[in-house]
Chain A
Amino acid sequence: MTTNQRNNHRSVEEFSEAVIAKALNGDRFCGLFATKEASAVRLDAVFADNPQLFVASVLLPRSAEAFPSLSPYIPSASWYEREIYDLFGLLATGPSGPYPLVLPLSEGHVRPQPGSGSGKLHEPFEIDLSPLSSHLEGEGVFTIPFGPVRSGVFESIEYVVETPGEDIAHLRARVFYKHRGVQISFEGLDVNDGVLMAERSEGVASVAHCVAYCGALEKIAGTEPPVVAGLVRVIHAELERIVNHLDSIVRHTEAAGQAVAYSRFTLHKERLQRMRGRLCGSRFGRGVVVPGGVTGPPQLSPNELLVQLDEIEHDIRSDLKLLMATPSFLDRLRGTGILPPALAHCFAAIGPVGRGSNQSDDVRFTRPYDAYRQLSHQLIENRSEGDALSRQWVRIDEITGSFHFIRQATDRLERASRKGDLWRFELEIVDGEDWGWAEAPQGELLYLVKVEDGTLARVKPRSASFHNLGLFHTAFPKDILTDFAFIEASFGISIAGVAG
């Protein structure tokens, strides 16, 4: 097991300098996080330093109300800084003033301060829902707020679009509507209850969240799960990936008005959800991954599983082949929502969004965990066009890769498992702190887990959706209002993971 590299800095200036140097060196920025420690707030800047993470930390002075902003050098740090301001009241001083993201509170309002242990005591806050002032000025420019209640069955989010009529000239996302206080909800829980919370922090990626959360706990305890458990985790995680990618394809077909394709792909999605239900009793793969392993093997025999999988894959492939040869569908995706590779690199885009713009980091391969270390894989070809179509192709390739992983894992599981196999090692609960990760369907997922006196003192999930939504506004270079649905579908963002 590789250990993450930690660097503690003595002053915030030294910290900023080190972090900016790291970013200028071309290392991929994963996020900036804060934790309330006993007396002060600690900042952690995390970079991908494959096959591990590089974490730079600094303990801010007790009286600190601000820290120097990193976003002039690292554009994707901006959303993290806004989240830190909302939750801790610490302002990132830089070119822009305070700009709420997940929790708009009035100045001086008491903040939840994750890590302090007192966040649970608060009664519901009054939040500031006043509309945004317009960003653009000009003749005929007006603002359209999409949401938070949107047409159709969607999660709540508001997109504030400013337009002279057709072009999407400026776009802002307001995500606080469904902020639930997930980070605080983890605090004080027993590590086993933490699994239930991880499953619900981003429900459509429950398995990935559990894998990353348990990965962090296993690092703290210095235990690896049994080999067979690693294989079971892969089966559930890859099924989750296929279903999430199908969901993105469903949204594309819906937006394009492809009625038959829509009903075909919703059917395939339902079949897979039912199959997941048969494997573990939950249509979302819940209750499988636990600290130290899994609760048990898939409840279908390997043979049954493979037969069903073959049938579904055959149907999906055949429909995808036709879909990707349907001109009226492709026309809507080609050249839509272009995210140029240089911009994607600058914002450190991850997941299918990144891979559609030539950013290849997939932590299943670059920081392998569980059974991904042993299983063979074909590297997914990067696309560099950066449009909705290339993101769609990345997802299609990943679906193929996922089927391949599930088959291999099922085969190995059949050969490796014996009667009386241990599916779970008893995990010794020791105090400590570490980072876990997984490649969720949306991209790299990170979990900071800190255990104190046997209970969770601080848990911070960083969903890929949060990171990628921060660069969403850059993907509208010459797009018009009717392209919006495609660009949103091609980003495949789960709002629950963003709002926290």
Chain B
Amino acid sequence: MPWIPRGLRNGIVTSRYPQTQDSYGENFRAAIVIRPHQYDLTIAKKVVDACPTNAISLNENMPSLDRGRCILCGRCEELYPDAFQFDSGFEIASANRGQLIVPSLEETDSLLADTKKELAQRVKALKRSVHIRHIDMGSDGADEWEVAALTNPVYDVQRLGVYFTASPRHADLLLVTGVGTVGMVSSLEKTLDSMPDPKIVVAAGVDAISGGLIGRGYASNGGISKMVKVDVFVPGSPPTPFGLLYGILLATARIPIWRAGTCSGAPRIMGKPLKQADFGRPRDDGYLSEENP
């Protein structure tokens, strides 16, 4: 009995995302951007060498950064603040591995549209009910905390019809964390085989995308993409709950095509706040409108 009023004590703490943007998520530093600049090659080369996961490379004297490898240590910003900067915002997941490389190339953009269309077709039947099975393929443990946070009252994914399920038989989406250890390969196969079609695979965190700092070794396959076809990649080390939520919505085609990826595209002005108008007309059922405003 005494617990009942406790539930009301702090008022409504639940985020309204994705109907409206969330100020905490928008201000969280979840990615690095490369700013247009007259690059000084000596410093840029130093940055390339200093990056612990080889996420930064130089192509024709233009630096690019692979968010699928970036563990957000901030060393590049420290060495070359004019070119590399932490950016706020969490909508950095993508359905295309190539699009995690910023600044993005135009080819990947058109490729992405096709990937998304195919994905949208595949998940059409899921509608508003998405059941997630999580599998740990060798994470550092922090990823699980962020995944589990999705069920706390702040993110409360159940409000969006997203549930975690104990059995792969009920699962639509497989959320994978970790570097892809050799010990878990057969468990991953079994879990995936047990899932009914259509199934979607989300790689959560740089460990799952590329192996992160551990990379490939005697016990690790350097990410999961060699073992299974990944539909959506969520960067971060670990990925934030909002980043994961965005990735899940993206994977289930609940982010309009025109909208997705705007945060991870070409270099943009730092910290430009996104307005309600950027999101189209929110519908009452938690879907985002497909209309372009």
Enumerate chain A interface residues (CB-CB to B < 8 A). Answer: 103, 112, 119-120, 122-127, 129, 148-149, 151-156, 176-182, 184-185, 189, 193, 196-197, 200-204, 206, 247, 258, 260-261, 263-264, 266-267, 269-270, 273-274, 277, 281-284, 287, 315, 319, 322, 326, 494-497, 499
Query: Is A496 touching B139 in the complex (CB atoms < 8 A)?
Result: yes
Q: Are B218 and A119 in contact (CB under 8 A)?
A: yes
Contact (Cβ within 8 A) B217 A202? no
Known: A180-B178, A185-B215. 9 other contacts (CB 8 A): A103-B219, A124-B218, A125-B182, A149-B136, A155-B141, A180-B214, A185-B213, A185-B217, A267-B153
Q: Which residues of B contact A261 (CB under 8 A)?
A: 3, 6
Please list the 8 inter-chain residue pairs (A to B) with the smallest Cβ-Cβ separation, ordered nearest first.
A203-B142, A151-B166, A203-B140, A266-B152, A122-B218, A496-B141, A181-B219, A177-B183
Contact partners of A263 in chain B: CB under 8 A:
7, 152-153
Q: List 21 A-B contacts (CB under 8 A).
A: A103-B219, A112-B219, A149-B168, A155-B141, A177-B184, A178-B183, A185-B213, A196-B71, A202-B141, A203-B145, A263-B7, A267-B152, A281-B29, A283-B146, A284-B238, A287-B73, A315-B9, A322-B3, A326-B2, A494-B141, A497-B141
CB atoms of A154 and B219 under 8 A apart: no
Residue of B nearest to A277 (CB): B28
Q: Which of chain B's residues have a CB closer than 8 A to the CB of A277? A: 28
Interface positions of B (Cβ within 8 A of A): 2-4, 6-7, 9-10, 13, 24, 28-29, 52, 71-74, 86, 133-149, 151-154, 164, 166-168, 178-179, 181-184, 186-187, 191, 212-221, 237-238, 240
Asked if A126 contacts B182 (CB within 8 A), the reply is yes
Given contacts A122-B218, A202-B141, A322-B3, contact A153 B147 (CB under 8 A): yes
Q: B219 touches which one: A179, A201, A260, A287 (CB < 8 A)? A: A179
Contact of A180 with B179 in the complex, beta carbons under 8 Å: yes
With A196-B73, A202-B140, A277-B28 as known contacts, state yes or no: A260 contacts B6, CB within 8 Å: yes
User: Which of chain A's residues have a CB closer than 8 A to the CB of B167?
Assistant: 151
The chain B residue with its CB closest to the CB of A264 is: B6
Interface pair B151/A200, CB less than 8 Å apart: no
Q: How far is the CB of A134 from chain B (nearest CB, A)?
A: 21
- Would you call A260 and B140 a contact (CB within 8 A)? no
B91 nearest CB across to chain A (Å): 17
When the two chains form their complex, are residues B218 and A123 in contact, meaning their CB atoms are under 8 A apart?
yes
- CB distance B148 to A153 under 8 Å? yes
Interface centre among A149, A201, A270 (most CB of B within 10 A): A149
**A103–B10 Cα gap in the complex (Å)?**
47
Which of chain A's residues have a CB closer than 8 A to the CB of B86? 281
In angstroms, Cα B182 to Cα A201, docked, is: 17
**Closest residue to B152 on the A side, CB-wise?**
A266
Say which residue of A182, A273, A287, A322 sits within 8 Å of B149 (CB atoms): A273
Answer whether A153 and B214 are a contact pair too, CB < 8 Å, given A124-B220, A129-B183: no
CB contact between B218 and one of A112, A155, A177 (< 8 Å): that residue:
A112
Nearest opposing residue in chain A for B167, CB measure? A151
CA distance A204 to B148 in the complex (A): 13
Give the nearest-CB partner of A185 in chain B: B214
Given known A-B contacts A204-B142, A258-B3, A263-B152, A129 and B213 have beta carbons under 8 A apart: no
Output the nearest chain A residue to B194 by Cβ-Cβ distance. Answer: A149
* Closest chain B CB from A253 CB (angstroms): 10
Q: How far is the CA of A277 from the CA of B153 in the complex (A)?
A: 18
**Contact status A284-B178, CB under 8 Å:** no
CB contacts (< 8 Å) of A153 on chain B: these are 134, 144, 147-148, 164
The distance in angstroms between the C-alpha atoms of A319 and B272, with both chains bound, is 39
Determine the chain A residues whose CB is within 8 A of the CB of B221 once the complex forms.
Answer: 124
- B133: which A residues are within 8 A, CB to CB? 149
Chain A min CB distance to B172 (Å): 16
Contact yes or no, A181 B140, CB < 8 A? no
- The answer to whether B154 touches A267 (Cβ under 8 A) is yes
Q: B24 to chain A: closest CB distance in Å?
A: 7
| B52 and A149 contact, CB distance less than 8 A | no
Most chain-A Cβ atoms within 10 A of its Cβ — which of B9, B28, B140? B140
Contact B182 A495 (CB under 8 A): no
Q: Are B181 and A177 in contact (CB under 8 A)?
A: yes
Asked whether, in the complex, the Cβ of B184 is within 8 Å of the Cβ of A283, the reply is no
